[in-house]
């Protein structure tokens, strides 16, 4: 009897110590993105997610103040394509939308680079309503790194994954933005993103939590 109780307690302690396994909620590699040459406008999208094994998926968008913005899909970071634009102003952004229902410990990661004259200071933000956005990473720097379609990707262009505040957990929709904080003097300067990944950890079922608590309580008594 005592051995059974101790074994159950040890098993429960093992569950607590085991690393959480994150699931891919949504991802964008942009490998199927086909933007005709000379495409301009203030917005581009939606771009459907294409993450392998993703739970929810979602849509990506680009938004600029200038209607002269050119949107394109040049080579990515160790892949064939990415999502790129020029004619940047402070406040212009890339946006990614997905769900986190049933998931906690949300993580967001991405690859980003720029041309020598493209914007190099951005904020990572999130929102639950698409209107009110909150800064997660303030004024991060994007370096001008030359990407190639040939793997491996350039690690100096990879950001995160970063933990998103708990308010984004278990939500029907969450928005993530990479927002420029500067207006470059050269409108031809570009900035591009690739390999957008949103992760989450499945929230345990109440029954599982009760079993865990019961096992720990039994161990304590024994």
Q: Which pLDDT value is given to residue 207?
A: 58
* pLDDT cut 90: percent of the chain above it: 82
d(CA 134, CA 127): 6
In this predicted structure, what is the pLDDT of residue 206?
Answer: 83
Q: State the CB neighbour count (10 A cutoff) for residue 212.
A: 16
Candidate CATH numbers 4.10.1240.10, 2.60.120.260, 3.30.565.10, 3.20.20.70; the one for domain 21-204: 2.60.120.260
76 contacts: CB under 8 Å, gap ≥ 6: 29, 30, 31, 82, 111, 147, 149, 153, 192, 194, 195
Residue 91: predicted pLDDT: 98
Helix 2-17 to helix 206-221 angle, to the nearest 10 degrees?
A: 130
Does 4 have pLDDT greater than 50?
no
Q: Closest by alpha carbon to 9, among 222, 208, 207? A: 222
For the chain, helix, strand, coil in percent to 5 are 15, 40, 45
Phi, psi of 39 (to 5 degrees): -70, 120
Mean per-residue pLDDT of the chain: 88
Nearest to 3 by CA among 216, 211, 219, 213: 219
Average pLDDT rounded to a whole number, residues 35-48: 98
pLDDT tens figures, 75-119? 999 999 999 999 999 999 999 999 999 999 999 999 999 999 999
Task: For residue range 111-161, list pLDDT tens digits in order.
Answer: 999 999 999 999 999 999 999 999 999 999 999 999 999 999 999 999 999
Is the confidence at residue 210, as pLDDT, over 70? no
For residue 139, count other CB atoms closer than 10 A to its CB: 10
What pLDDT score does 74 carry? 98
Report which of 215, 221, 222 is spatially closest to residue 11, judged by C-alpha positions. Answer: 215
Rounded Cα gap, residues 171 and 74, in angstroms: 33
pLDDT band at 1 (very low <50, low <70, confident <90, very high): very low
pLDDT-derived band of residue 30, with 50, 70 and 90 as boundaries?
Answer: very high
pLDDT single digits (tens) 212-222: 444 444 445 54
Please tell me which residue, 49 or 205, carries the higher pLDDT value.
49
Residue 202's SS3 state is strand
Greater confidence, 173 or 17?
Answer: 173
Predicted local distance difference test score (pLDDT) of residue 213: 46
């Amino acid at each position: 009897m005592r051995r059974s109780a101790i074994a159950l307690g040890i098993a429960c302690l093992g569950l607590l110590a085991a690393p959480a396994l994150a699931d891919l909620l949504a991802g964008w590699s942009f490998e199927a993105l086909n933007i005709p040459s000379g495409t301009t406008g203030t917005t581009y999208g939606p771009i459907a997610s294409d993450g392998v094994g993703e739970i929810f998926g979602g849509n990506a968008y680009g938004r600029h103040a200038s209607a002269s913005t050119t949107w394109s899909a040049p080579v990515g970071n160790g892949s064939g394509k990415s999502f790129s634009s020029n004619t940047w102003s402070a406040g212009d952004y890339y946006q990614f939308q997905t769900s986190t229902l049933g998931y906690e410990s949300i993580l967001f990661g991405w690859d980003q680079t720029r041309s020598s004259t493209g914007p190099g200071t951005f904020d990572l933000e999130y929102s639950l309503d698409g209107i009110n956005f909150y800064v997660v990473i303030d004024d991060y720097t994007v370096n001008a790194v030359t990407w190639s379609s040939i793997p491996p990707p350039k690690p100096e262009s990879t950001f995160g994954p970063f933990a998103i505040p708990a308010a984004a957990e278990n939500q029907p929709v969450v928005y993530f933005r990479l927002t420029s904080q500067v207006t470059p003097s050269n409108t031809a300067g570009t900035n591009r993103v690739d390999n957008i990944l949103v992760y989450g950890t499945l929230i345990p079922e109440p029954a599982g939590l009760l079993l865990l608590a019961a096992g720990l309580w039994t161990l304590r008594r024994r």
